Amino acid sequence: QVQLQESGPGLVKPSETLSLTCAVSGYSISSGYYWGWIRQPPGKGLEWIGSIYHSGSTYYNPSLKSRVTISVDTSKNQFSLKLSSVTAADTAVYYCARHVRVVPAVGSWFDPWGQGTLVTVSS
């Protein structure tokens, strides 16, 4: 079955760039679906960051768009997140997930999810 695994530094300094990678196994990213990033600050709710197709087509949350870049590497079957100019407010567990049915005028959901990785922004 499809499995996702996030990786990257657990500590990032304020004003620097957060970089995470999500490795996908059990499914070829090139076969379809969008692939997304969602984050959850400690003790709080979920926030969608953005999603990418294997072609490189992306959708971003407008609230983060100016600081976010999501890219895909089909040769490694993985996709990545970069979030620039981070502050303490960006401290969160970051999840990657398969993003299902990212087409107009239909329901869309995230399934399955990676286990998540905690990123703390602190000097």
Partner 1 sequence: EIVLTQSPATLSLSPGERATLSCRASQSVSSYLAWYQQKPGQAPRLLIYDASNRATGIPARFSGSGSGTDFTLTISSLEPEDFAVYYCQQRSNWLFTFGPGTKVDIK
Footprint of partner 1 (CB under 8 A): 36, 45-48, 51, 59, 61-62, 95, 97, 99-100, 104, 106-116
Residue 4 CB, nearest approach to partner 1 (Å): 9
Q: In this complex, which beta carbon is closest to partner 1, that of residue 16 or of residue 27?
A: 27
Least distance CB 111 / partner 1 (angstroms): 4
> For the chain, what percentages of helix, strand and coil (3-state, to nearest 5) are there?
5, 50, 40
Sequence-distant (≥ 6) Cβ neighbours of residue 48 within 8 angstroms: 36, 37, 38, 61
Q: What are phi and psi of 118, to 5 degrees?
A: -80, 125
CB of 114 to partner 1, least distance (A): 6
CA distance 81 to 64: 12
Nearer to partner 1, 54 or 99 (CB): 99
C-beta of 30 vs 115, nearer to partner 1? 115
Q: Write down the least CB distance from residue 95 to partner 1, Å.
A: 6
Displacement of CA 122 from its chain's centroid (Å) = 21
DSSP bridge partners of 38? 48, 95
Nearer CB in complex with partner 1: 17/25: 25
> What's the Rg (C-alpha) of the chain?
14
